[in-house]
Amino acid sequence: MLDWFARAKRDLPWRRTRDPYAIWISEIMLQQTRVAAALGFYERFMKRFPTVASLANALESDVLAQWAGLGYYSRARNLHKAAKAINGEFPNRYDALLVLPGIGEYTAAAIGSIAFGLPYAAVDGNLLRVLARLDNDPSDIGNPRARARFTARSQELLDPSHPGDFNQAMMELGATICVPKAPRCGECPVQKYCAAYAAGRQTELPIKGRKQTKVEIEVTALVIFRGDRMLLIQRSSEAGQMPGFWELPDTQTLQSAKVGAEVGQVRHTITHHHYRYTVRLAEWTGKLPPGFAWKHRNKLDETLLTTATKKALRKC
The whole-angstrom distance between residue 124's C-alpha and the CA centroid of its chain comes to 13
Catalytic residues: 27
Nearest to 136 by CA among 202, 52, 217, 41: 202
Are the CB atoms for 237 and 244 separated by under 8 Å? yes
Neighbouring CB atoms inside 10 A of 231's CB total 20
- Full strand arrangement of the beta sheet holding 258-270: 215-223, 273-283, 258-270
